[in-house]
Amino acid sequence: DSERLQREYQNLVNGLVDQGLLEASANEAGFASNVLNPDVINEAVPGNIRRAEHFISFMKKIVEHLKTRLLTVAGPRGGVISETPLAFLHRMITTTSLEAKPLKFAYSRLSSLLRTLQVPNLDDYNALTDVADFASLVATYSEGLPKFAIIMEPNGSSIPGASDPVIQLACLDASLAIAPLFKRFGSVIITSGTLSPIDLYPKLLQFEPRVSESFNMSTFRPCIRPLVITRGSDQLPVSTKFDDRGDMGVVRNYGSMLVELCSSIPDGVVAFFTSYSYMESIISEWDGMGILRQLTKSKLVFIETKDVVETTLALDNFRRACDSGRGAVFLSVARGKVSEGINFDRHYGRAVIMFGVPFQYTLSHILRARLEYLQTNYQIREQDFLNFDALRQASQCVGRVIRSKIDYGLMIFADSRYNRHDKRTKLPGWIQNFLGDGQLNLSTDTAIAQVKHFLRVMAQPVDQNKLKEVLLSLEEVEAMNPPTQMIEAP
């Protein structure tokens, strides 16, 4: 049995290495898995799930139990239920007569079994893998302070009227994900352009920094121009606050603002909205107002969707439109695919427009559980976290526009709330350094004048001498890190 388990384990590790998902030796495989107790990674699988047929029967009981819970939640006496892992585990054990310890090994045992069977397409078993992963995490973190919450909702579908009950395992403690890094390495460096405010991260990730520094951007010219637009051309305030977002005056002003900006800015423009639902509703209203027709006179329009393939195709065509000189505008969503990992350098992103402040959906049961956890255990106030998270997302979006020393672009914050001191001071320092008083509380008309002036200045040839002042030569880099001299001992 010991040799067979070792072979199964080795097959699992080799399969991960073959797929490029693991670049470590066999004894480091546990580091690449989910955050699990060391016992689960190092101990042998319990005997009652070691045989494949016993393990399949074991998994059937788990699946049947989860089905029963979903039917209960969706039933006439159901509703939203929130439980701790301990309460959920106790009910599962009582109902199914399973033991807690084998549940911890469900994920690793399933992975081992699939490797042993040499399943050609592991994607076919993603749903079963999720169930095993869920069971392992619930059993592992059932003791002590609850760091997860199980949220059961009768309708998790985005389609109105559709019945789609869901069970969600929500991690409340972000430090769990980074704890293995701190445990394994003596020195860990966390760097980002959006770590602001920097003093909140040690609380969230539960560590004490030895060094904490915030650096300015080294530039040879004012290559970014942040603008806070609080009013439309008709001087009416613009905002995506819940009370204002449906106002036709706000919708019209946002549309006119986008049309005027796209008429004045060459090449690529990216616009971010606070959610998919808001983007869809405002685009529908713009279509009825004829704003989209006006927009297509200056640029082609591309829209991000929840479908990864559609969005990838739209991005490719967006770049082609920019390369051809036609110009394009990409309408996307904060927290979506485009806001996280896509760069709009050079002519692909001469401006980023952030329509609204991208707060999370505050009625989300998962968010409510996380906020309560942060307040109770780390004394982080609800509003502080919501502001921090929203401004970090906004910075992530507008940061797509600048990618090199010679790049330049506009960062447009289109919401009256960005004019408030408590909001804009949470933006990263490298953005605040370029945000003067003359760029605050602007109307669309005054912002357009600043846009045109900025683009005229940036269109001038790059001063190569000034550029060299902010770049290190090869000799300077070598001087900072001199080669180690080898001295042979006598």
Q: Are 106 and 130 in contact (CB under 8 A)?
A: no
Provide the total of helices (H) and of strands (E) in the chain, helices listed first.
22, 10
Q: Are 89 and 161 in contact (CB under 8 A)?
A: no
DSSP summary character for residue 146? -
Q: What is the pLDDT of residue 145?
A: 81
- Helix ranges (DSSP H) in 332-381: 337-341, 365-378
224 or 15: whose pLDDT is higher? 224
Distance from C-alpha of 395 to C-alpha of 221, rounded to nearest angstrom: 21
Burial of 286 (0-12, 13-18, 19+ CB in 10 A): buried
> What's the pTM?
0.81
Six-digit token string for 342: 């896509």
Segment 231-237 mean pLDDT: 93
Distance from C-alpha of 37 to C-alpha of 375, rounded to nearest angstrom: 26
Residue in the block written with tokens 């394009």 = 328
Say if residue 115's pLDDT is above 60. yes
Q: Are 104 and 136 in contact (CB under 8 A)?
A: yes
Q: What is the pLDDT of residue 32?
A: 41
Q: Which of 8-12, 291-295, 361-365 has the lowest mean pLDDT?
A: 8-12
Q: Are 233 and 448 in contact (CB under 8 A)?
A: no
- Residue closest to 56 by CA, chosen among 126, 113, 116, 118: 113
Q: What is the pLDDT of residue 22?
A: 56
**Bridging pattern class, strands 409-414 and 224-231:** parallel
- Helix ranges (DSSP H) in 325-428: 337-341, 365-378, 382-398, 421-424
Provide CB contacts within 8 A for 447, sequence distance 6+. Answer: 227, 229, 261, 412
Distance from C-alpha of 296 to C-alpha of 288, rounded to nearest angstrom: 14
Collapsing DSSP to helix, strand or coil, 171 comes out as strand
Q: What is the pLDDT of residue 242?
A: 84
Say if residue 51's pLDDT is above 80. yes
Q: Which of 123-137, 232-246, 468-482 has the lowest mean pLDDT?
A: 468-482
Q: What percent of the chain has pLDDT over 90?
A: 52
- Residue closest to 454 by CA, chosen among 227, 251, 243, 258: 227
> 31 pLDDT band (50/70/90 cuts)?
very low
The string of pLDDT tens digits covering residues 165-192 is: 999 999 999 898 888 889 888 899 988 8
Helix (H) or strand (E) holding 52: helix 52-74
